[in-house]
Amino acid sequence: MEILDLRHFSSVDLRPLLDEEVRVWASLLSWDYSGSADMILRYVDSKILPGYAAIDRGRIFGYAFFVYEGSKGVIGDLFVASDSRNHNAHEVESQLLTHVIETLQQSPGIHRVEAQLLVHETGGVARPFTEQGFQRHARLFMLLPLGPAARTAPPLDPEIEIRGWSEQDYQSAAAVITTAYRDHVDAEINDQYRTLSGSLRFLNNIVRFPGCGTFDPGSSFVAVHKRARSMVGLILCSRVRHDVGHVTQVCVLPEHRSHGIGVALLAATSDNLRRRNFTQLSLTVTEANTHAVELYRHLGFDTKRVFDAFVWEG
Ligand SMILES: CC(C)(COP(=O)(O)OP(=O)(O)OC[C@H]1O[C@@H](n2cnc3c(N)ncnc32)[C@H](O)[C@@H]1OP(=O)(O)O)[C@@H](O)C(=O)NCCC(=O)NCCS
């Protein structure tokens, strides 16, 4: 077995492994990963995707890649085939991650590395991260079946209006996100939340790029204080399978919390998806964010997987 630079290969070499990964995402997360897989293959063909491939007799049976975002490195994916012949898949995962982590930590100008590996069970790939000084945060992948029995949300303060997301909402949404995540554990995991420009980049990634499913404006909403004409909360949803929505963001300004706005935003999204015959709604949440976890449980979301987010600051 050899670990080689991913840029020595083409999409033809990587396609069989990604086909298997698409099947794994579908069965574990009800997630159609084929759009992301196509994007990865295009980057591999352009020889611009940094990463490593595990090779056995000319065949790629594992890979990991990362991207640079300014002074931050983000580990985008790690996947090893279940039939790894004579190789211990877990050992191959560790070796790939060790290469990626070393490369990122030694890259000039890189002061931060983030990773969220959804298909890997919590603890499963933690060792190479914790050995290199990463912080680890357990996160839950939760799923709500969108059955016919919709519960009605309790009435909202009449001063608050829930309306559909529009292209004009970018700036206000970025301001709400930045304020909502001040001193929040999720701002340790994703540093984009700490600044207005970072929150705008986050929004841009979610709305314009297909990395995390395809943004679905129809099931995305904002909460507005009518008299003040200001945004006080929002929910963004993407389509991750033809009939599955995924909440990529939900937040409410601190001074408006515990008045049912979070419940109303989630109800607006799930009602919209139900009307369009979606069957499930998923989301991820940090385990330590107990208030949010309790809220989702209360609404019927079930934890399907626990995975880890890793962060290193150099
Ligand atoms: C998570 C978050 C969006 C919830 O928003 P919220 O508006 O406070 O949520 P709600 O008020 O609808 O519900 C919160 C609690 O208030 C209760 N509540 C609902 N309606 C209420 C009302 N009219 N009056 C008082 N309390 C009410 C809910 O039952 C819930 O209590 P529970 O958690 O014990 O069941 C908000 O706390 C937040 O923005 N947090 C920071 C960002 C974040 O963590 N986002 C989630 C990332 S996954």
Residue 140 alpha carbon to ligand 1 centre in Å: 18
Is 310 a member of any domain?
Answer: no
Does the CB atom of residue 261 touch ligand 1 within 6 A? yes
The pLDDT mean for the chain works out to: 95
Kindly state whether residues 151 and 124 are assigned to the same domain. no
By percentage, how much of the chain surpasses pLDDT 90? 92
Kindly state whether residues 246 and 273 are assigned to the same domain. yes
Does the CB atom of residue 234 touch ligand 1 within 6 A? no
CA-nearest residue, atom 20 of ligand 1: 260
| Domains of the chain: total | 2
Kindly state whether residues 19 and 162 are assigned to the same domain. no
- Residue range 130-159: average pLDDT? 90
Which of 142, 206, 251, 256 to mutate to test ligand 1, by most ligand atoms within 8 A of the CB atom? Answer: 251
Long-range pairs, 106-111, Cβ under 8 A, ≥24: 107/68, 107/73, 109/71, 110/68, 110/71, 110/72, 110/73, 110/314, 111/71, 111/72, 111/313, 111/314
Does the CB atom of residue 259 touch ligand 1 within 6 A? yes
How much is the pLDDT for 168? Answer: 95
Does the CB atom of residue 59 touch ligand 1 within 6 A? no
Assess contact for 67 and 76: CB atoms under 8 A. Answer: yes
Kindly state whether residues 198 and 125 are assigned to the same domain. no
Q: Model confidence over 75-86: pLDDT tens digits?
A: 999 999 987 666
Last residue of a domain, one of 133, 162, 178: 133
Is 264 a member of any domain?
Answer: yes
pTM for this predicted structure: 0.95
Which of 185, 193, 259 to mutate to test ligand 1, by most ligand atoms within 8 A of the CB atom? Answer: 259
Residue 295 alpha carbon to ligand 1 centre in Å: 6
Q: Is the pLDDT of residue 9 over 80?
A: yes
Residue 301 alpha carbon to ligand 1 centre in Å: 14
CA-nearest residue, atom 39 of ligand 1: 251
Kindly state whether residues 287 and 191 are assigned to the same domain. yes
Assess contact for 248 and 235: CB atoms under 8 A. Answer: no
Q: Is the pLDDT of residue 153 over 90?
A: no
By percentage, how much of the chain surpasses pLDDT 70? 98
Is 193 a member of any domain?
Answer: yes
Kindly state whether residues 94 and 10 are assigned to the same domain. yes
Q: Is the pLDDT of residue 150 over 70?
A: no
**Secondary structure (H, E, C), the chain:** CEEEEHHHCCHHHHHHHHHHHHHHHHHHHCCCCHHHHHHHHHHHHCCCCCEEEEEECCEEEEEEEEEEECCEEEEEEEEECCCCCCCCHHHHHHHHHHHHHHHHHHCCCCCEEEEECCCCCCCCCHHHHHHCCCEEEEEEEEEEECCCCCCCCCCCCCCEEEEECCHHHHHHHHHHHHHHCCCCHHHHHCHHHHCHHHHHHHHHHHHHCHHHCEECHHHCEEEEECCCCEEEEEEEEEEEECCEEEEEEEEECHHHCCCCHHHHHHHHHHHHHHHCCCCEEEEEEECCCHHHHHHHHHCCCEEEEEEEEEEEEC
Helices 261-275 & 290-298 angle (0-180, nearest 10): 50
Which of 192, 295, 297 to mutate to test ligand 1, by most ligand atoms within 8 A of the CB atom? Answer: 295
Is 128 a member of any domain?
Answer: yes
Last residue of a domain, one of 133, 155, 176: 133
Q: Model confidence over 161-201: pLDDT tens digits?
A: 999 999 999 999 999 999 999 999 999 999 999 999 999 99
Does the CB atom of residue 295 touch ligand 1 within 6 A? yes
Is 309 a member of any domain?
Answer: no
Q: Is the pLDDT of residue 149 over 90?
A: no
Last residue of a domain, one of 103, 133, 163: 133
Is 224 a member of any domain?
Answer: yes
Q: What angle do CA 188, 194, 196 make, to 5 degrees?
A: 160
Is 37 a member of any domain?
Answer: yes
Assess contact for 43 and 7: CB atoms under 8 A. Answer: no
Q: Is the pLDDT of residue 25 over 70?
A: yes
Cβ-count burial of 177 within 10 angstroms (0-12 exposed, 13-18 middle, 19+ buried)?
A: buried
Residue carrying structure tokens 């070393």: 102
CA-nearest residue, atom 17 of ligand 1: 258
Range in 28-32, 126-130, 209-213, 277-281 the model is least confident about? 209-213
- Residue range 273-287: average pLDDT? 97
How much is the pLDDT for 211? Answer: 73
Kindly state whether residues 75 and 117 are assigned to the same domain. yes
- Residue range 235-255: average pLDDT? 98
| Confidence grade of residue 37 (pLDDT, cut at 50, 70, 90) | very high
| Confidence grade of residue 147 (pLDDT, cut at 50, 70, 90) | confident
Q: Is the pLDDT of residue 243 over 70?
A: yes
- Domain limits for position 290: 143-304
Distance of CA 100 to the CA centre of its chain: 20
Residue 259 alpha carbon to ligand 1 centre in Å: 7
Kindly state whether residues 298 and 233 are assigned to the same domain. yes
CATH of the domain at 95: 3.40.630.30
Q: Is the pLDDT of residue 228 over 90?
A: yes
Kindly state whether residues 175 and 206 are assigned to the same domain. yes
| Confidence grade of residue 209 (pLDDT, cut at 50, 70, 90) | confident
Task: Return d(Cα 297, Cα 256) in angstroms, integer.
Answer: 21
How much is the pLDDT for 212? Answer: 81
Assess contact for 91 and 62: CB atoms under 8 A. Answer: no
Q: For residue 282, list its beta bridge partners.
A: 143, 246
Task: Return d(Cα 278, Cα 219) in angstroms, integer.
Answer: 11
Q: Model confidence over 85-116: pLDDT tens digits?
A: 667 899 999 999 999 999 999 999 999 999 99
- Residue range 112-131: average pLDDT? 96
Atom number, ligand 1, closest to the C-alpha of residue 256: 7
For residue 233, which amino acid is it? G
Does the CB atom of residue 136 touch ligand 1 within 6 A? no
Is 233 a member of any domain?
Answer: yes
Q: Is the pLDDT of residue 8 over 70?
A: yes
How much is the pLDDT for 148? Answer: 76
Buried (b) or exposed (e) across 48-64, using 16+ Cβ within 10 A?
ebbbbbbbbeeebbbbb
Does the CB atom of residue 17 touch ligand 1 within 6 A? no
